[in-house]
Structure formats: C-alpha cells, structure tokens
Structure 1
Amino acid sequence: MPALIPPTVDVHASFLRAIEEHRAEGRGLPADQTNIGMYIRTYDGIWESLEGFSRFVADVRAQEREDTPRPPGFVPTTSLWWVEGDEYLGRLGIRHRLAPGQIGERNGHIGYDVRPSARRRGHAAAMLAAALPIAGSLGLPQVLITCDHDNEASRRTIERNGGVLHDRLDEKLRYWLPTA
C-alpha cells in the first residue's frame, strides 16, 4: 500500500523514470513553474548519479527548515513522496504558511503531482488525505488548496477530501480544507 514518506534515495531509479514521464508531457520547460519543472531545470544532469540524487534529496528535505536559504517569495515547505515499495508514484509539498502576496493566494498551502503512469488510480486523493493531519501537526488548522478552474480531476480530489470552494482568482479555484 502506498504511503507518504520523506524524500529518500531508495527510490532513485523509479524517480528518474517518473521524471522522464513528466518530461514526455512537456514538463521542465522555462514556463513550467511547478516544483517538478523547477526540479528538472535545477537537477537535470546531476541526479542521474546516486551522489547527485543524494544531494537533491538533501536539498529538498532542507526546505522544511526556516533557516534554509530560498528564493524570494518561497516559504518553508515539507516535501513528502508517495511511494509503494521502491516505486515513486508522486510528490506533495506542504507550505508551512502562505507565501507573501498573490503567490500564496494562487498556490495555497499544498501542491501535489502524480507521475503520469500512476494517474487515475486515486493516488492524488489518497496523498491529500494522508497529508491533512501532517499539515495540522505543522500548526495549520485549515489549508488553502488551489487548482485551475478547468482541472476537473484536481477539483474532484480536493472536494473528496472535504474542500469547500472559497472563490475563483483568475484561472484558479481556491478551496479551504480542515486538517482535522
């Protein structure tokens, strides 16, 4: 059964296969401002070796610490991977607080990605359900989660987990979810 775990080198090979799936759907291009896109642009050519992948894992895990240097507008984030055995299925990030300004209002507290070959199997809904108590333990009694207005799958995932539509900001639907 899959579980949310801290990033680990144990899934190196399957993580790289997942990244190739993401690349095949166009992720990693300069316009892709998602975590997966930024990971590809930053670590491509580095994470192929176990040493480079270990560095990537350490860098991702360091982002949950308040004192870790990060770009302007970024906040401490706990990253978790959805894994079954040694198979990487997806990632989820819990921002410890909303980023300042409209960035936080558009991105919310939690973002997630499921690798293309694992989609449409309920992984996103299960990941989000598993993440809510973790967000609560970080001091967040409720979380803001956003999705594009035309992303029916993400909208259903959020609503299945108790999300209540708050409003629409440009192309983003904004939902609040209780963490307990």
Structure 2
Amino acid sequence: MALTLVEPSVELYGAWWEAHEEWGPGLHEDGFGLAATDEVESPDGFAAWVERVKAEDSTCRWIVEDGRVQGGIALRHRLNDVTGHIGYGVRPSARGRGLATWALGAMLDEARALGLRRVLLVCLEGNEGSARTIERNGGVLEEVRGDVCRYWIELPAAGEPGVPAEKGADG
C-alpha cells in the first residue's frame, strides 16, 4: 500500500470525483474544505475550488493510496471554536483501516511545525470511529456541547517529553 498525503491538485480530478461520488448526495466530506457554493462538476469549477482551498489560511491534504483519493484532512492555522483546528474524512469504503489515524498523526506534525502547542478537534457524539482516531493521537475529551465532543491534543515541541526527536519508518 502506497499511502501519502498530497496537496489538492487538478490532476487528481478523476480520483477525487470517485471519492466524492461514493459519499453520495447530502453527506458531508470533512477535510476537503468543500462548501455548498463550490461547483466541482466541471473541470473549470473544480480547478477554481482547488485554488480556493490552496489559498486559505490552512494546510489541506488529500489521503491518497495507490492513486485513489481515500479522504481529506485540513489543518486550520487559526482556531475555529466550532470546527476546531483539524477536520478529516475518509470515504466509506476505506474506513476502519487506520487511514484517518495515520493522516491525523501526520497533520499533528504539521501543526507542531507551525508552532501550535495544542489543537482542538471535534466530532459528533456517537461517532465512535472519529473519537477513537482522535484518542489514538492523544486527544483528551474536554466536554460535550450539545451533540459535539471537543477534544484537545497537546503538542509539545520536538525534543520535549512525549515527542520523539526523530520518527522511524513505523511512525
């Protein structure tokens, strides 16, 4: 399995569209930064959306495995108290394989490199898969607001206790 995080690209339109179609109408695709006003059906609309996402004050990556877009993850450089610092989503057929856990771990390294010392992640109450993903990456439940669980992940600087100075091939 060749698993990578890649910057959004018009070259991956077909692979992205396949993932988008799998989510189906009316379902959200966290991590892609797709807004209701984005038109992604035409090549020009898709290209405009990709450029908009790349221009935002965030780091957006697509989870790509063997040329297939399996999901997306976005790190907001500033705290959004409603949606948190990081949002992610994995297409239904790729769930349960640890892709979100892997992608979140990689994005936490990006957050640390930006100088963030802790990040907020949120998920709906009852979304056990997302809660486990966050907890596996060190998330601690702060509170539940309505039906939204709020988790914080502490990010000590490289070399501080809890952060290896260098990661090996397994992670």
Aligned 8 A contact 2:73 2:103 in 1: yes
2:99 corresponds to 1:123: yes
Deviation for aligned residue 1:170: 1.3
Q: What residue in structure 1 maps to residue 51 of structure 2?
A: 58
2:146 corresponds to 1:145: no
Q: What residue in structure 2 maps to residue 20 of structure 1?
A: 21
Root-mean-square deviation over aligned CA pairs? 2.1
Q: What residue in structure 2 maps to residue 72 of structure 1?
A: none
Q: 1:15 to 1:23 in 2, by over 3 A?
A: same
For residues 27-67 of structure 1, the C-alpha deviation after alignment (integer angstroms, 9 at most, x for no partner) is 2xxxx595658446412433xx2x4433322221111xxxx
Q: Alignment length, in residue pairs?
A: 155
SS of residue in 1 equivalent to 2:126: coil
Aligned-pair identity in percent equals 40
Deviation for aligned residue 1:97: 1.2
Give 2:61's match in structure 1, choosing from 71, 76, 80. Answer: 80
TM-score (norm: length of structure 2): 0.81
- Whichever residue aligns with residue 5 of structure 2, its letter is L
Q: 1:42 to 1:107 in 2, by over 3 A?
A: same
SS of residue in 1 equivalent to 2:96: coil
Deviation for aligned residue 1:10: 2.8
Deviation for aligned residue 1:135: 0.9
TM-score (norm: length of structure 1): 0.77
Unaligned ranges ≥5, structure 1: 64-75
Q: What residue in structure 1 maps to residue 76 of structure 2?
A: 95
The 2-side partners of 1:60 and 1:88 are apart by: 16
Unaligned ranges ≥5, structure 2: 157-171
The 1-side partners of 2:146 and 2:34 are apart by: 23
Q: What residue in structure 1 maps to residue 147 of structure 2?
A: 171
After TM superposition, what 4+ stretches of structure 1 lie above 6 angstroms from structure 2?
A: none
Deviation for aligned residue 1:168: 1.2
Q: What residue in structure 2 maps to residue 43 of structure 1?
A: 39
- Whichever residue aligns with residue 156 of structure 1, its letter is R
SS of residue in 2 equivalent to 1:107: coil
The 1-side partners of 2:17 and 2:34 are apart by: 15
Q: 1:2 to 1:140 in 2, by over 3 A?
A: same
The 1-side partners of 2:140 and 2:31 are apart by: 25
